[in-house]
Amino acid sequence: MVKTCVICDAARAVLKRPKTGQQICKECFYHVFETEIHHTIIDNHLFSRGDKVAIGASGGKDSTVLAHVLKTLNGRYNYGLDLFLLSVDEGITGYRDDSLETVKRNQQQYDLPLKIVSYEELYHWTMDEIVKEVGLKNNCTFCGVFRRQALDRGAAMLDVDHIVTGHNADDIAETILMNILRGDTPRLQRCTEIVTTGESLIRRSKPFKYTYEKEIVMYAYFKKLDYFSTECTYSPNAYRGYARTFLKDLEAIRPTAILDIIQSGEAFQIKTEVKMPVQQTCVRCGYMSSNELCKACVLLEGLNRGLPKLGIGKTERLRKQHNLQVSEKPVITETAW
Ligand code: SF4
């Protein structure tokens, strides 16, 4: 029997919303999907009129849908934002080179300026070279630290006020679970925040904080958006993989599990007092850091000295052990800013 959309009660229902279980038509799905993101933006005061906003663009489904939706909402609700695409080229052959081709097409499709910053240009190391040194165990630690700083540096080059990323509700719920399982209370506090400040005090936000991954995939599919769907060749991340599988199992039994976990993480943040690290400036590269040297500089020092494990683990202890002098010449050149 043909079902009618429960929202408009007119068109044929073609999908079941993963978030609510409602049977709805395509047009109503677009409307509720976009409107919920609009409400997330407004309720959390993510932007101010005139903000210059860089969309962290990887070519994957999340950032492609984010670029599409932000461009749509900026026009529909007259946010007055100046939007840019900002991509990081980690130097991963067969993965990032292909996904960046998608971002370049998105630039044309959405008519947004694009800036690409690369690890090679900023750090003189590509991820292909780093993996040759460190293997596949700690590669994502290097990649994550460098990407965070590379986004900040790219944003500074674009002179933007704000970076938005495509982290969705599933990503955030997984991170909450991982931080609980690791007992990492400071990270547990930070990971539910919708707005954070990056290394260079540029605001970062997650407009998809309450958006389900399955709905992002559906939106991209029905809108026929151009995105890249291959996994990174160096993706071991077994711990997150287990958290992801566990979350999917919970979602299959109870679709609200994702939002419930986020809500629990937020409640925890209010009730617990955790001593947060004091922010200072890295004496080597000048970026914000919770130590004398930022994590990126310590990791780079290890790579350049042929001691890639130097930055893995307790940074301060290892720094002292290897007599990492704070007055040494900066690894990152002026042009890399
Ligand atoms: Fe980098 Fe790891 Fe992500 Fe690959 S899976 S892009 S190496 S963080």
What would you report as the CA-atom Rg of the chain, rounded to the nearest whole angstrom?
Answer: 21
Final residue before a domain boundary, out of 241, 267, 293: 267
Q: Over 90: is that where the pLDDT of 69 sits?
A: yes
Whether residue 334 is predicted with pLDDT greater than 50 in this model: the reply is no
Which H or E run contains 55? strand 52-56
- Domain end: 243, 267, 291, which one? 267
**Rounded distance from Cα 235 to ligand 1 centre (Å):** 6
What number is the average pLDDT over the span 4-32?
96
DSSP 202-255: -EEE-TTTT--HHHHHHHHHHTT-----PPPTT---HHHHHHHHHHHHHHHH-T
Q: Is the pLDDT of residue 319 over 60?
A: no
CA distances from 124 to 103, 134, 303 (A): 23, 16, 10
Same domain, 110 and 220: yes
Say whether both 202 and 252 belong to one domain: yes
The finding on whether 233 has its CB within 6 A of some atom of ligand 1 is: no
Cβ within 8 Å of residue 234, ≥6 positions away: 92, 95, 127, 131, 136, 139, 140, 143
Q: Are residues 111 and 169 in the same domain?
A: yes
- The span from the CA of 246 to the CA of 100, in Å, is 31
pLDDT tens, position by position, 97-125:
999 999 999 999 999 999 999 999 999 99
pLDDT at 313: 61
296 and 159 in one domain? no
298 and 254 together in one domain = no
pLDDT at residue 330 above 80?
A: no
Q: Which domain holds residue 313?
A: 280-327
Residues 165 and 134 in one domain: yes
User: Do 260 and 287 fall within a single domain?
Assistant: no
As given in the structure block, the two tokens for residue 43 are 């309720």
Distance from Cα 9 to the centre of ligand 1, integer Å:
45
Q: Domain boundary residue among 267, 290, 311?
A: 267
| Continuous H helices in the chain | 26-43, 61-76, 96-110, 119-123, 127-134, 139-158, 169-182, 185-191, 213-222, 238-253, 257-271, 295-305, 315-321
Tell whether 154 and 250 lie within a shared domain: yes
Q: Specify if 318 maps to a domain.
A: yes
Name every residue whose Cβ is closer than 8 Å to that of residue 247 and which is 6 or more positions away in sequence.
170, 173, 174, 177, 257, 258, 261
Looking at the fold, whether 206 and 299 belong to one and the same domain comes out as no
* Structural domain count, the chain: 2
Give pLDDT, residue 239: 81
Q: SS3 for 124-142, per residue?
A: CCCHHHHHHHHCCCCHHHH
pLDDT at 337: 22
Is 199 a residue whose pLDDT tops 70? Answer: no
pLDDT in tens, 126-143: 999 999 999 888 899 999
Q: Does residue 143 have its Cβ closer than 6 Å to ligand 1?
A: yes
Atom number in ligand 1 closest to CA 233: 4
For the segment 179-205, the average pLDDT, to the nearest whole number, is: 86
Mean pLDDT for the stretch of residues 64-86: 98
Domain assignment present for residue 185? The answer is: yes
Residues 249-295 have pLDDT tens digits of 999 999 999 999 999 999 886 555 556 667 788 898 887 787 888 88
The rounded Å distance from CA 83 to ligand 1 centre is 26
Determine the Cα–Cα distance for residues 34 and 26; give it in Å rounded to an integer.
Answer: 12
What mean pLDDT, rounded, does the chain reach? 88
CATH number at residue 65: 3.40.50.620
Residue 232 Cβ inside 6 Å of ligand 1? The answer reads yes
Decide if 15 is inside a domain.
no
Is the predicted pLDDT of residue 333 greater than 50, yes or no? Answer: no
The helix-helix angle for 169-182 and 257-271 (nearest 10°) equals: 50
298 in the same domain as 173: no
Q: Say yes or no: 200 and 309 in one domain.
A: no
Question: Does a structural domain hold residue 12?
Answer: no
Q: DSSP state, 274?
A: -
How far apart are alpha carbons 58 and 143 in whole angstroms?
A: 14
Distance 193 CA to ligand 1 centre (A): 23
Binding-site residue ranges = 56-58, 62, 88, 166, 171
Asked, for residue 38, whether it belongs to a domain, the answer is no
Q: Is residue 9 one of the residues assigned to a domain? A: no
Please state, in angstroms and rounded to a whole number, the distance separating the CA atoms of residues 267 and 118. Answer: 38
Provide the whole-model pTM.
Answer: 0.87
For helices 139-158 and 127-134, the axis angle rounded to 10 degrees is 160
Angle at 204 between CA 202 and CA 207, to 5 degrees: 150
Structural domain includes residue 220? yes
Same domain assignment for residues 178 and 125: yes
Least confident residue range of 49-53, 92-96, 204-208, 306-310: 306-310
Is residue 275, in this structure, part of any structural domain at all? no
- Our CA angle for 319, 144, 107, nearest 5°, is 145
